[in-house]
Structure 1
Amino acid sequence: MAEIELTLDALSYTLIALLIAVLVIPAVLSRDPDVHPFVLHRQSAISPVRNPKESAVYRSTDTPFGYPLVSGLGLPAAQKYASRTGDIRDIWKLAIEHGKGKMQSVKGKEVVDFSIADLTKHIYAVGSHFRDIGAKSVAVYLPNDVENLVVSFACAFYNIKLIIVPFEPHQTEGVLGLLKETRPDVIIAAAGQVPLEEITPIRPKEIIFVVEPGSQHLDWDSPEGSDQKSVVYHEIIKNGAAKDPEVDIELNAPAVVIYGPKQKDGSRELIEFSHRNIVAGVASQMKSLPTREKYTPNDVFVPVDTLADLHTRIHTYAALASGSTVALSSIAGKHADIETAVRNVNPTIIVVSPESLLELHIRTRGTMMELWHGMIHYFQARTLTNNGRIPKGNFITRVNDYIRPRVGKKLRLVFVAESAGSPDSQPLNSLDLSDLRVFFQAKVVYGLKHYKVAGPVTQCNVYDYRVQKQKSLPKGPGRECAHFGAPSPGLEIKLKDRGEYTADDAEGPRGEVWVTGPVVAGGRELSLGIVGKWEDEGVLSYA
């Protein structure tokens, strides 16, 4: 029997190479998605029963029915096997215990490190000063900087009500009217930000000016003959106390006061939060993140949005309680330039406003001028949505790449939230979020916030990279809005029938959004003033 001789020519080798490239290489180089797709199909715990004209009650899967909502930090108590809720002071104590001992102040190209130990002395110095002059309430009108947090924790340690005045760089209009509403005992503001003669009619016990180092040689005392006392911050902290006052705290008493959004008549509602509300919001945010995505002492956290926004402040407190290094930029705000705010810091986590992200999105899209840029973006977006992974790129994609945001190479989490019921909100749709994940090469977490809730009301799963089918939604001038994810572990949500929107809708429960839980100001059931819909996966969206 004759032997059959197998001969291969160049074409045969080429075909074999192509077969290996198509079948073998993808199998060898393929990686699992960041999360199993089934996890995204059930993102909420749903009550088995519901009341008439209401949807079922939805909760986070971290706090299913039968378990208590997250309400505290779970700190060790005096009794064995017991835990205590904690208060705002414990956030700073956790920063001392878990952190690497520093906080950063970013001013232009200058980054100044502050020791946590020194800032603790500053907290006691400022707090004891408030106590000595008999202050019961302190209004803070400051940019994002260490003085803002020092004063905030000084109020907490000495049981003084903190009033957070809305702050936006280079905008002081209406501040006097806001201060007249609350009439605080002490007003703290950046020197030159608010004229002394405008504050004098409010007649606070004292005005404290925060003066930049280059201007501290100037005289910032009250003019001769003035009955209004003013002092400077840097003189107060020189006489630092180094002992915890150990003041008894009433957890349900008002501790933090914020201003609601401006109404049509120009007025703003005042909302009071207790220690219990704030701590529940911080603990809830920390609980909501998967284990490998939680804040850690190795993280550098930058609040790009203003600390006058409670959602941003809760994220900042959560970062502190987790031991992360917090870097504060004085240019932060609702319309802050993200690249400028994080320059020279190299952050791993940031929290930003939708307005800042939209501005960056438009600017980055404008740099995609060539066909090659579109191809890079298309394949990376496909990796994101089809493979469930954040595309990190390689040397090929970096050849003639478009100009991506300059936010450092370590960024891993970006938090942003739609403001429920705000007429000025800038909603982001799922295509925007997908683009931003590709631009940043990091996870972008979208949520829903409300000024009467400490922290996010809902928050998308960190690994939910899906692009929703676009549809017409009655929100924003021609813009749609992505879904907001599942409820926070610190509250529960239900929808109540409202007009044409009913819980029995064939496409899914719709209705007015109501929330309740320890993160809600006053601890009562609250309407968010918006109409929402429950999607099949247990995520909330606009109806």
Structure 2
Amino acid sequence: MFDDLELNVVTYTLIALVLGLMILPVIFQKDPDIHPMILNRQSNMSPVRNPKESPVHRSTSSPPGYPLVSGLGLPTDQKYRTRDGDIRDVWNQAVKEGKGKVLSVRGSEIKELDIDQLTQNIHSLGSYIKSIPGARRIAIYLANDIENLVASFACAFYDLTLVVLPFDPKSSPDVASLLKRSKADVLIAPAGDLALNDVDGASSIKEIIYVVEPGSQHLDWTSPDGKVKTSVYHDVIKTPSTGAGNVDLDGPAIIVFGSKYIGEERSIEIAEFNHKQIIAGVASTIASIKPGPETLKPDDIFVPVDTLSDIYTRIFTYAALASGTTVALNPVAGVHANLELCIKHVRPTVIVASTSTLAYTASDAAGSRMEIWHNILHYFQCRTLESGRIPKGNALIRFNDYTRPNVGEPSRLRLVFSAEVAGDPDSHPLNSEDLNDLRACFGARVVYGLKHHKVAGPINQQHVYDYRVQPQTPKPSKKKDIPRKCAHFGGVTPGCEVFTRDWESFKASDAGGSRGEIVVRGPTVIGGEAPLGVAGKWWPDGVLSYV
């Protein structure tokens, strides 16, 4: 039978090619980052549910019958008991567990700040404010810089309420009305950023502490009319400190502002968090990414690209400090920040960014894929993601690569966190294809979730290793003719539980998955329970999405 076969160079080449295509993929095949079956069950459901409600969904690490994560589990004098802690313990853990590093980044200038000196500044500022008669509520209108961090923990140590005014380098809120609504007693703000008539509209302000740039510290910053006393930050932190005293853990600790939407009407809502809710959010955030290799570690560098006036970003920053991670603060950070300007000189390993920043980054990178080689490269990167792995690339790819965000060379970025604002019609939602584009673009894991200004930290959060492209669902929008798509938000975080309640035409008994208004409750939620005013749907694998 084989006697008549004539084998030549072409025949041997074809045989070798066929065998290579069959054998080489088996030899060089790599396992996915996680077993695919683990992604098929991302939430635990309660065995019993109330009428007109879906089953209560919880994190797989805190199933029904077990307590929700509510604290850091810090040691006590009694051997087998722990305590939850409060906001002060976030800074104490940073001093204890960290390497003593907080970085202030301004352009290419990176200044390393000694954490012991910052502790002294915290107590000096807190002592000074505590000595002001009647000062209880301290408003800060500050960028993501070291003064923001010092003022935040000064309020925590000296039993003062921190009022975080919205701050974005590209826009300014109505500061006068927000100060008046919050009944703030002291304002800490950059010198020259606010007009005096803005502050005059808030009659409760007793003193303004100006943060002055080094080049302008020789100027006189006293108020010309003398109605409101003024002082400067660089002098205040030189004053002697006094004892901090006790702290009311149930009283308001941090006040933030969030948007509330009723139909097409938008209003600003005040949210008051106490120490217990904040620390529960910090502990839940840490627990949502541990145990495992992706947990926050002391050798990480964390950069909040979004503004610290967002409670989600603030909680992640506190979680990084409590984990001993180096935190790098950049004043150009904000909701619409340029990602490269914030991180390229720092080479971070973990960042938190707004959906609008990531949407712009993804669009900018997609526009640079002009050559056919770039599209072929991106196709195979997406194939790698479909197989469950992050594409890292090699020297051949980098030789003729498309334009990617400059995150420092070589890149150390491994985790990118972002979350959709629940019910916000003006946000920039990301679908699962956008997320995979970003994963291929960064060579890092991008984690998407859901947030709300009444909840400390993320409500739902995708699994770190979930790279699946799933059917997209439309996001609520004012523009009914332009459907907006949004990826699912993953499973529930360990500090809260989530369910849907019958709402309008959406029912818990709907075929294909329970639907209804999303309701969150737990120790991270103001008042213990908060309906979000937006419809959601549960999928069979326990992930939540918009309807």
Q: Provide the residue aligned with 2:85 in structure 1.
A: 86
Q: Provide the residue aligned with 1:383 in structure 2.
A: 384
Q: Provide the residue aligned with 2:506 in structure 1.
A: 501
Q: Within 2, Cα distance between the matches of 1:456 and 1:418?
A: 10
Q: Within 1, Cα distance between the matches of 2:345 and 2:221?
A: 32
Counterpart contact for 1:72–1:86, Cα < 8 Å: yes
Q: Within 1, Cα distance between the matches of 2:246 and 2:388?
A: 49
Q: Provide the residue aligned with 1:424 in structure 2.
A: 426
- Deviation of the 1:456 alpha carbon: 0.6
Give the 3 Å change call, closer, same or farther, for CA 169–131 of structure 1 in structure 2: same
Q: Provide the residue aligned with 1:249 in structure 2.
A: 247
Counterpart contact for 2:255–2:273, Cα < 8 Å: yes
Tell me, what secondary structure is at the counterpart of 1:239? coil
Tell me, what secondary structure is at the counterpart of 1:507? coil
Give the 3 Å change call, closer, same or farther, for CA 199–470 of structure 1 in structure 2: closer
Name the stretch that deviates more: 306-315 or 389-398: 389-398
- Deviation of the 1:51 alpha carbon: 1.3
Tell me, what secondary structure is at the counterpart of 1:148? helix
Alignment of 1:175-194 (within 5 A): 175-194=175-194
Q: Within 2, Cα distance between the matches of 1:183 and 1:499?
A: 37
Counterpart contact for 2:473–2:487, Cα < 8 Å: no
Q: Provide the residue aligned with 2:535 in structure 1.
A: 531
Residues 187-216 of structure 1 show CA distances to partners (whole Å, capped at 9, x for unaligned) of 000111112343134242210000111111
Matched letter for residue 268 of structure 1: I
Matched letter for residue 467 of structure 1: V
**1:200 and 2:204 equivalent?**
no
Residues 343-368 of structure 1 show CA distances to partners (whole Å, capped at 9, x for unaligned) of 21101111011111111111111111
Residues 331-351 of structure 1 show CA distances to partners (whole Å, capped at 9, x for unaligned) of 111100101111211011110
- Deviation of the 1:478 alpha carbon: 2.6
**1:541 and 2:545 equivalent?**
yes
Q: Within 2, Cα distance between the matches of 1:283 and 1:144?
A: 22
Residues 361-386 of structure 1 show CA distances to partners (whole Å, capped at 9, x for unaligned) of 1111111111111000000011101x
Matched letter for residue 426 of structure 2: D
- Deviation of the 1:132 alpha carbon: 1.3
Q: Within 2, Cα distance between the matches of 1:265 and 1:231?
A: 39
Matched letter for residue 429 of structure 1: N
In structure 2, runs of 5+ residues without a counterpart are: none
Alignment of 1:94-173 (within 5 A): 94-134=93-133, 135-173=135-173
Matched letter for residue 199 of structure 2: I
Residues 399-453 of structure 1 show CA distances to partners (whole Å, capped at 9, x for unaligned) of 3111111112000010010000122111111111111111111000000001100
Q: Within 1, Cα distance between the matches of 2:521 and 2:418?
A: 22
Tell me, what secondary structure is at the counterpart of 2:419? strand
Q: Within 2, Cα distance between the matches of 1:109 and 1:24?
A: 49
Tell me, what secondary structure is at the counterpart of 2:169? coil
Choose from 464, 467, 470 the match for 1:468: 470
Q: Provide the residue aligned with 1:340 in structure 2.
A: 341
- Deviation of the 1:22 alpha carbon: 1.5
**1:51 and 2:56 equivalent?**
no
Q: Within 2, Cα distance between the matches of 1:227 and 1:380?
A: 62
Matched letter for residue 229 of structure 2: K
Q: TM-score, normalised by structure 2?
A: 0.94
Q: Provide the residue aligned with 2:214 in structure 1.
A: 213
Q: TM-score, normalised by structure 1?
A: 0.95
**1:510 and 2:520 equivalent?**
no
Residues 199-258 of structure 1 show CA distances to partners (whole Å, capped at 9, x for unaligned) of 1342422100001111111111222x51321000000112353x7x35222222111111
**1:259 and 2:261 equivalent?**
no
Q: Within 1, Cα distance between the matches of 2:288 and 2:510?
A: 29
Residues 106-137 of structure 1 show CA distances to partners (whole Å, capped at 9, x for unaligned) of 11221111111110000000001011113211
Q: Provide the residue aligned with 1:491 in structure 2.
A: 496
Residues 9-37 of structure 1 show CA distances to partners (whole Å, capped at 9, x for unaligned) of 42344234324422332222221101000
Q: Within 1, Cα distance between the matches of 2:520 and 2:476?
A: 22
**1:28 and 2:32 equivalent?**
no
Counterpart contact for 1:278–1:314, Cα < 8 Å: yes
Give the 3 Å change call, closer, same or farther, for CA 375–170 of structure 1 in structure 2: closer
Q: Within 1, Cα distance between the matches of 2:39 and 2:154?
A: 42
- Deviation of the 1:39 alpha carbon: 0.4
Q: Within 2, Cα distance between the matches of 1:173 and 1:507?
A: 43
Counterpart contact for 1:172–1:194, Cα < 8 Å: no
**1:271 and 2:271 equivalent?**
yes
Q: Within 2, Cα distance between the matches of 1:509 and 1:466?
A: 22
Q: Provide the residue aligned with 2:445 in structure 1.
A: 443
Q: Provide the residue aligned with 2:403 in structure 1.
A: 403
Q: Provide the residue aligned with 2:326 in structure 1.
A: 325
**1:311 and 2:312 equivalent?**
yes
Q: Within 2, Cα distance between the matches of 1:486 and 1:472?
A: 19
Tell me, what secondary structure is at the counterpart of 1:293? coil
Name the stretch that deviates more: 376-385 or 26-35: 26-35
User: How well do the aligned residues superpose, as a CA RMSD in angstroms?
Assistant: 1.8
Matched letter for residue 430 of structure 1: S
**1:282 and 2:317 equivalent?**
no
Q: Provide the residue aligned with 1:458 in structure 2.
A: 460
Q: Percent identity?
A: 53
Q: Within 2, Cα distance between the matches of 1:13 and 1:301?
A: 55
Counterpart contact for 2:127–2:244, Cα < 8 Å: no
Q: Within 2, Cα distance between the matches of 1:119 and 1:354?
A: 31
Give the 3 Å change call, closer, same or farther, for CA 187–473 of structure 1 in structure 2: closer
Counterpart contact for 1:205–1:229, Cα < 8 Å: yes
Q: Provide the residue aligned with 1:61 in structure 2.
A: 60
Q: Within 2, Cα distance between the matches of 1:136 and 1:474?
A: 40
Q: Within 1, Cα distance between the matches of 2:332 and 2:188?
A: 18
Q: Within 2, Cα distance between the matches of 1:17 and 1:208?
A: 76
Matched letter for residue 75 of structure 1: L
Q: How many residues align?
A: 535
Counterpart contact for 2:73–2:85, Cα < 8 Å: yes
Give the 3 Å change call, closer, same or farther, for CA 233–474 of structure 1 in structure 2: closer
In structure 1, runs of 5+ residues without a counterpart are: none
- Deviation of the 1:59 alpha carbon: 0.1
Q: Within 2, Cα distance between the matches of 1:200 and 1:60?
A: 48
Q: Within 1, Cα distance between the matches of 2:161 and 2:91?
A: 17
Matched letter for residue 458 of structure 2: P
